[in-house]
Amino acid sequence: MLRPVLTLISAFALSLQLTAQDVPVVWRGARVLTGVSTIDDAVLVASGGRIETIGGPATAVPAGSRIVEARGMVITPGLIDAAWNGGGALGLADQNEQSTEITPSLRVLDSLDPQDKAIARLRNQGVTTVHVMPGTRSVIGGLSAVLQTWGKDQDAMVLSSEAALRMTLGAEPSMGNRAIRGGTVDSVYYRRPTTRMGVIWSARRAFYDAKEALDESQSEARVARTAHERRDLEVLTRVLKGTLPMVTTARSEQDLRTALRLGAEFGYKPIVDEAQDAHAVATELLQAGVWVMVGAPSSTSVGGSGGQDGAEPRHATLLRLAAAGVPFVITTGTNPNALELVREAMFAHRFGLTHEQALAAVTAQPAKLLGLGDRKGTLKVGMDADFVLWSADPFDPASTPTSVVIGGVDTTSLQ
Amino acid sequence: MNTHSIMVKANARAALLIAAIAVSPAAAQGLVAVKNGRVHTKDAVIEDAVVLIDNGRITKIGKQGEFEVPWEAKTVDATGKIVLPTFVLAHSQGGVRMANERMENVAFLTIADALDPASPFFEDCLRSGVGTVHAIPGNATLLGGAGIVVRPFGRTVPDMAVSTQTGLKLSLLPQGGGRLLQIRKLRRALDDAREYLADFDRRKAEFEKEQKAAAIDKDKKWTEEFDKTKKPVIDLVQKKTRGWLYVPGSAEVPEAMRLQQELDLVLVLGPQVHRAIEALKGVKNPVVLEETIEFFETDPETKKETKIRLAKLLADAGIPFALSLGAAAPSSYAWWQLASCVRQGVDKKIALSALTEVPAKLLSLDDQIGTLEVGKLANLQVLTGDPMQATSWVETVVLEGQVVYERSKDERLKYLLDAAAKPADASTSGSK
């Protein structure tokens, strides 16, 4: 009895949604910061989940479209957080697999609940796409995912289930570990590195194996391995072949240098993450040609469970990267003191980035970094209709998102 | 002591501060003119205005050219900038390492003894345009001791002191027991003081009676004084001292409202009081908000999240409030706290008054600070722009006519912000 009714209801809901998406929707009168230019009194038409037209007040409005008056509002591309720590959707215990320090084939997606309130909260802050990684307590923690903060179903939210591999440097992956000094091994913590050096040695050891596996694939010789070992090595060889990005979380200056050194040693280009001390190595980062994800630039503390761990955050970090020409994005990262992403960008603007630079660092730049530059991050014809209506300029501390549109659907009205 | 400085009322408990009168800080003498700014006075905004300061006080405010500026006046150029009164923090534990004694009934203590003038907090105050700070013991207490009003400038506490008769800290925050126990302990402490007072008065009356009846030598004087550890609470129950009562949540509001019937109280509200706004409507003094004025509440059954906007709730209820600044970004910035109020829908003027006029009134210093008016102390800040925008910076702070902060000379800020400065790795770049 119940089942047909439910089917009927869901069919009805689906048809509603389809009509909503089929009729072109026009947002009229807002100031639009497209990521390329600023259009005042704009006409923005979304249809079929994409941007159909965008232009000034004279732009023609398609017949039969639904019109949303947005005068006085400011529209920006949907914000993209390239290193979201999962909020409540990923408890600390679910974020950090600690049975062993190298777990390349773990997938963060397997522990993420897309229906979690944390994602809705994030969406209401204007964030439409996130990159979620495993936690920072393992040396090589596993595979990250890219999600939209809304989709018509769970699968539609997932843009990539194996976006990148995360490695963490510094003292954090060794925290709590103990060396074996006689007695019996009664805790997993005996098995893990106990120093910063040990962390890097663990990473190296994994890469030596991966290199060997890569060489083997071109020769007859085969080392006996179990299936799961082969799977782990397959993931690592993708990094060596350059088909899987290696996000390397490095907060302090020495860890940033190590991130570059490991990349040079094994022939891959890391994406440097957190990077609070990037101000001290801007030249090297430029020379290495790497992207930098700066976590919570508003804060003078750093994230992770290792305390400051040698890092010295400065307000000038982003400005120095910009001046050096290093490509960067702003993230909320692992810092528990991180603010909403838009406020992090606001602080970056306060600390010297131009309005355009700060906005791009949470829209166009992370889209490019995540390989979504042709779909997201800017508002152009043919791109995904992901955008945010703000009550005032997004960097005005008094502004607040009034509507968050993802794939042409105003998600604010769905709650 | 300087005629312009606020009367430093010596407090018997704070012997340290009696000395303050003798070595009161040497504020700038003479004339200062803050020129060409957009000046926010109590009732108006004057473009291209001049604020003339003599001997630490504002003597004239008017449009450029309205009056002659003496040639010898030192100029503070505010061209294209905004001039506001400095902000006032009504309730702060900044600049104090441990704001609470572990024993909970320590009304005889004073926070003055715990203030660290070298704390970066005071420097940050100036960077945020704060010119007056009421330091008072923290909330983890029952009767926590006395507060002190200081300016965030000076090398010693006596240097910084503005006023010591600021009142006593009380808290309804449970200390290792339940809510009821805390209330009972506070009531007991107040009753103890009343009983002691009654007993004291009875003994004194008996002494006088016996003296009259010639049972005691006529020349003998009543020499007994109040027990020094009890005197602060006696002052409190006699309404000679103001109490600053921390109210952690809605459940404690009714008790706080009862207590304000018998004591002179300022209520310091924790963020969880939002369910008792209606009950707060009869509050006698303006209230103080802690730094958290916006948060999500999750319904325990439906798990639905609701945003609580505390400043808006109070403003709608017509309850005047003072704002606090937090220890970390963003609430450590005055512009953020002010803009947060506006974001919630609070009128800009009310928001601004929550860091100026209202706290000045709570500290009984509204005749001296809180607005820019002729006759008041020259405590002002020059801002590069709108005080509610992230892109604005405090350019200059003047306290009692003395320039105490200039951004152009702020070396620590430069260290944090300067992108052009030589990278710190210059000497180690060969270490790869």
B423 in A contact zone (CB under 8 Å): yes
Structure token digits, residue A343: 């406020």
Tell me the nearest-neighbour CA distance from A162 into chain B, angstroms. 31
How many other C-beta atoms lie within 10 A of the C-beta of residue A39? 20
For A253-257, B94-98, B232-236, which range has the lowest pLDDT when averaged over its residues?
A: B94-98
Asked if B340's CB is within 8 angstroms of A323's CB, the reply is no
Least CB–CB distance from A397: residue in B298, B339, B429 = B339
B432 close to A (CB below 8 A): yes
Lookup: tokens for B272:
């969880």
Residue B28 makes CB contacts below 8 A (sequence gap 6+) with B56, B74, B400, B401, B402, B403
Q: Find the range with the poorest average confidence among A256-270, B99-113, B251-265.
A: B99-113
Mutation target to probe the B interface, by most B beta carbons within 10 A, among A260, A279, A340 is A279
CB contact under 8 A, B388 and A279: no
- 3-state DSSP assignment of residue A240: helix
Query: Quick one: how far is CA B54 from the chain centroid?
Result: 25
Q: Are A295 and A331 in contact (CB under 8 A)?
A: yes
> Tens digit of pLDDT for each residue in B4-58?
333 334 343 343 333 333 334 444 468 999 999 999 999 899 999 999 999 999 9
Give the minimum alpha-carbon distance from A299 to chain B in angstroms, rounded to a whole number.
Answer: 7
**A117 and B303: CB-CB below 8 Å?**
yes
Match 């490991």 to its residue by tokens. Answer: A262
Contact B421 A350 (CB under 8 A): no
Task: Decide if B342 touches A, using CB distance below 8 A.
Answer: yes
B388 touches chain A (CB under 8 A): yes
Predicted pLDDT at A72 = 96
Mutate to test the interface with B, among A121, A299, A315 (most CBs of B within 10 A): A315
Q: Helices (DSSP H) in A23-141: which residue ranges?
A: 92-95, 117-124
The answer to whether residues A199 and A174 touch, using CB atoms and an 8 Å cutoff, is: yes
**B150 has pLDDT over 60:** yes
B390 near A CB under 8 A: yes
ipTM above 0.85, yes or no: yes
Contacts of A397 in chain B (CB under 8 A): 330, 335-336, 339-340, 343, 388-390
Please give the pLDDT value at position A415.
63
Contacts of B423 in chain A (CB under 8 A): 279-283, 320
Q: Whole-angstrom Cα distance, residue B348 to residue B323?
A: 13
Which secondary structure element, helix H or strand E, spans residue B336, and what is its range?
helix B334-344
Chain A residues touching residue B388 (CB < 8 angstroms): 397-398
Residues in chain A with pLDDT < 50? 1-19
Query: Got the DSSP string for B105-149?
Result: B-TT-BGGGGB-TT-HHHHHHHHTTEEEEEE---SS-SEEEE-EE
Chains A and B form CB pairs within 8 A to the count of 83
B213 touches chain A (CB under 8 A): no
Do residues B168 and B190 touch, judged by C-beta distance below 8 A?
no
- Using CA coordinates, name the residue in chain B closest to A255: B432
| CA nearest neighbour of A175 among A161, A156, A153, A193 | A193
Chain B residues close to A352, C-beta within 8 Å: 417, 419
Spell out the domain ranges in chain B. Answer: 15-166+366-416
Structural contact between residues A295 and A248, judged by C-beta atoms closer than 8 angstroms: no
Q: By the CB < 8 Å criterion, does B67 face chain A?
A: no
For B15-166+366-416, CATH number? 2.30.40.10
CA diameter of chain B? 97
> DSSP readout, A253-307?
HHHHHHHHHHHHHHT--EEEEE-TTGGGSHHHHHHHT--EEEE-TT-SS--SSST
* Inter-chain residue contact A316 with B416, CB threshold 8 Å: yes
- B218 versus A276: the higher-pLDDT residue is A276
d(CA A376, CA A370): 10
Cβ–Cβ of B421/A315 closer than 8 Å? no
Q: How crowded is the C-beta side of A367, counted as CA atoms within 13 Å?
A: 23
Contacts of B432 in chain A (CB under 8 A): 257, 261
Q: Are B425 and A281 within 8 A, CB to CB?
A: yes
Residue of A nearest to B347 (CA): A398
Using CA atoms, how far apart are residues B47 and B36, in angstroms rounded to an integer? Answer: 7
Predicted pLDDT of residue A132: 95
B340: left (phi over 0), alpha (psi -120 to 50) or beta: alpha
In angstroms and rounded to an integer, the radius of gyration of the C-alpha atoms of chain B is 24
| The pairing of beta strand B287-289 with beta strand B321-322 | parallel
Per 3-state DSSP, chain B is made up of helix, strand and coil in percentages (nearest 5) of 30, 25, 45
Rg over alpha carbons for chain A, rounded to the nearest Å, is 23
What's CA B157's distance to the chain center, in Å? 15
Across the interface, whether the CB atoms of B423 and A320 are under 8 A apart is answered yes
Mean pLDDT of B54-74: 95
Q: Does B426 touch chain A (CB under 8 A)?
A: no
Query: According to the model, what pLDDT value does residue B416 have?
Result: 86
Over range B183-205, report the average pLDDT: 96
Phi-psi region of A267 (alpha: psi -120 to 50; beta: other; left: phi over 0): left
Q: Does B340 contact A at CB distance below 8 Å?
A: yes
Phi, psi dihedrals of residue B372, rounded to the nearest 5°? -95, 105
B126 vs B116: CA distance, rounded Å: 16
- Kind of pairing between the strands at A409-410 and A127-132: unpaired
C-alpha pair distances (Å), A62 with each of A43, A45, A66, A306: 11, 8, 9, 56
Residues of B in contact with A281 (CB under 8 A): 423, 425
Q: Cβ of B343 and A352 within 8 Å?
A: no
Letter for the amino acid at A63?
A
Is B305 in CB contact (< 8 Å) with chain A? yes
- Chain A positions in Cβ-Cβ contact with residue B328 (cut-off 8 Å): 299, 301, 337
Contact A117 B340 (CB under 8 A): no
Q: Do A314 and B336 touch (CB under 8 A)?
A: no
H or E segment to which residue A202 belongs:
helix A196-217
Chain B residue with minimum CA distance to A278:
B423
Residues of B in contact with A395 (CB under 8 A): 390-391
Judge whether B106 and B81 are in contact, CB under 8 Å.
no
Whole-model pTM? 0.90
**A337/B329 CB distance under 8 A:** yes
CA distance A290 to chain B (A): 18
User: Which residue ranges form the domains of chain A, and what is each CATH number?
Assistant: 22-78+378-415 (2.30.40.10), 79-376 (3.20.20.140)
Cβ contact, residue pair B423, A299, below 8 Å: no
B418 touches chain A (CB under 8 A): yes
Q: How far is A1 from chain B (nearest CA, A)?
A: 27
- Best of B123, B294, B389 to disrupt the A interface (most A CBs within 10 Å) is B389
Tell me the CB-side half-sphere exposure of residue B394, using CA atoms within 13 A: 27
Nearest-CB residue to A347 (from B390, B415, B425): B390
Question: Peptide bond preceding A104: is omega within 30 degrees of 0, i.e. cis?
Answer: no
Between chains, do A283 and B429 touch, taking CB under 8 Å as contact?
yes
Q: Give the closest-approach CA distance of B102 to chain A in angstroms.
A: 27
- Provide, rounded to the nearest whole percent, the portion of chain B with pLDDT above 70: 90
- Cα separation of A179 and A378, whole Å? 51
Say if residues A174 and A198 touch (Cβ distance below 8 Å): yes
